[in-house]
Amino acid sequence: MSGRIFKPFPVGAFTIIPAGFPTPDPCGIPLILGRKGAFGSGEHETTASCLELLTTIPDIQDCRAFDLGTGTGILALAAARLGAASIAALDLEWPAALSCAENAQLNGLEDRVLTICGELSAIATHPFDLVMANIYADILLPLADRLVELTRPGGYLLLSGIPLQDKFDIQRRYTQLGCTVADSRIMEDYASFLLQKPAAP
């Protein structure tokens, strides 16, 4: 947040509330964020589009989710608020992982949001119902095989942080791996995709 947010604001079905502020009335689904500097305040169009797409996933209730490059943990927290049973939130940077862990506590979701600081190799191969990655296209491309592998058959991948000039490359790579585009958001500078892995035969 880097100290930029000074009052609550709505993002789709959610309301972002800086820590220490009272809950506004009216209020959407509350997401309380501390002031530790990490990406993911809800202001950026990539984060906002991910929050919007999360609400369209039909079977998010009780799902097992994974958030790569979690930052503040905003997507992990949103998934938990929508009913996800457990979320593994991974970030390579210690300050970001600390921010995520503290935000999980602020929201009373530390029992469902497990924060991990480390590489993708720290994540077990057991498949997730939902894989989220609001990172860079030049990371999403080389990690495509691994992210699809981490997704259970019939599960979803929520990908964002994709500059418009890279959206066709991302879409082509993941569809080559069998995924279909369930939904998308094309914004001023970025694209976000909600992909579905094919169900097991």
C-beta of residue 161 within 8 angstroms of C-beta of residue 114: no
Domains held by the chain: number: 1
Report if residue 19 sits inside a domain: no
- Residue 108 scores a pLDDT above 90: yes
Instruction: Specify if 51 maps to a domain.
Output: no
41-61 pLDDT, tens digit per residue, is: 556 799 999 999 999 999 899
Position 14 in a domain? no
In this structure, is residue 97 part of a structural domain?
Answer: yes
The DSSP secondary structure of 18-68, one letter per residue, reads ETTSPPPSS--EEEEE-SS--S--S-SHHHHHHHHHHTT-TT-TT-EEEEE
Burial letters 129-154, b for 16+ CB under 10 A, else e:
bbbbbbbebeebeebbeebbebbbee
Residue with tokens 């209730």: 61
pTM of the complete model: 0.93
The answer to the question of residue 126 being in a domain is: yes
Residue 24 resides in a domain: no
pLDDT at 1: 37
Tell which wins on pLDDT, 17 or 6: 17
Whether 47 is covered by a domain: the verdict is: no
CB 142 within 8 A of CB 114: no
Q: How confident is the model at residue 3 (pLDDT cuts 50, 70, 90)?
A: very low
- Residue 139 pLDDT: 94
26 preceded by cis ω (within 30°)? yes
For the domain that residue 164 is a member of, what is the CATH number?
A: 3.40.50.150
Q: In which domain, by residue range, is 95 found?
A: 58-196
Count CB atoms within 10 A of the CB of residue 51: 24
Q: Which amino acid is at 115?
A: T
64-88, pLDDT tens digit by residue? 999 999 999 999 999 999 999 999 9
Question: Do the domain assignments include residue 4?
Answer: no
Helix ranges, 44-158 (H): 45-54, 74-81, 94-106, 137-140, 144-149
